[in-house]
Amino acid sequence: MRILRLSWIFLALILAAILVSIAGCSVQAQDNPPRPIEEISDNEVNAIAKQLYCPVCENIPLDVCPTQACAEWRELIRLRISEGWSADRIKEYFAQQYGERVLAAPPARGLNWLVYIIPPLIILGGVYVLYRAFNSWKSPTPQTTDSTSTAEPAPGQDDYASRLEEELKKLES
């Protein structure tokens, strides 16, 4: 019965994680209307640029990279936004041009999907282990009595001392 209850809790946690991940997804239109390049703000450009890494510099997001090449790539992003490209399409373009290493978040295909699966599984496993540990700490441990030992603890003597004496008597015999 306890295992059935734990499996329902585990299933509920998985469903909650799926719902949270679905709710966090943003919905974007497939075809954005073209806009004049002057209307594109730096915030719009940087929102996409921070999801990309500089192909020239190592481990520097495109939105903060000070090189001339990165400035040109930010202008390319601005141009693509003005042409109506979506953020996903722009990131896909950069990944095709410079490889998937320019993406801040690896795509969920091939072995990269493990990056998205393993951490939640480890967290759920840790929660399960903690749950089991807390339950085992709460439940009392059954005391076994030895029928060969007839020694009664003296008044005022604690339980630990009496168990120690019993163990010593077992070792002597």
Residue found by looking up tokens 């004049």 in the block: 36
Task: Kindly state whether residue 167 falls inside one of the protein's structural domains.
Answer: no
Residue ranges making up the domain that contains 81 = 41-117
Task: Kindly state whether residue 126 falls inside one of the protein's structural domains.
Answer: no
Q: Judge contact between 166 and 146, C-beta under 8 A.
A: yes
Judged by DSSP in three states, 53 sits in strand
What's the pLDDT score for residue 127?
95
Q: Provide the residue type at 159 as one letter.
A: D
Q: How confident is the model at residue 29 (pLDDT cuts 50, 70, 90)?
A: very low
Query: Which tens digit of pLDDT belongs to each residue from 52-99?
Result: 888 777 778 888 888 888 888 888 888 888 888 888 898 888 888 888
Task: Kindly state whether residue 47 falls inside one of the protein's structural domains.
Answer: yes
Q: Provide the residue type at 169 as one letter.
A: K
The encoded tokens of residue 27 equal: 């919905």
Q: How far apart are the first and last CA of the chain?
A: 44
Task: Kindly state whether residue 124 falls inside one of the protein's structural domains.
Answer: no
Number of domains in the chain: 1
Q: In this model, does residue 147 exceed pLDDT 80?
A: no
The encoded tokens of residue 1 equal: 């019965």
CATH number assigned to the domain comprising residue 75: 1.10.8.640
Task: Kindly state whether residue 62 falls inside one of the protein's structural domains.
Answer: yes
Q: In this model, does residue 128 exceed pLDDT 80?
A: yes
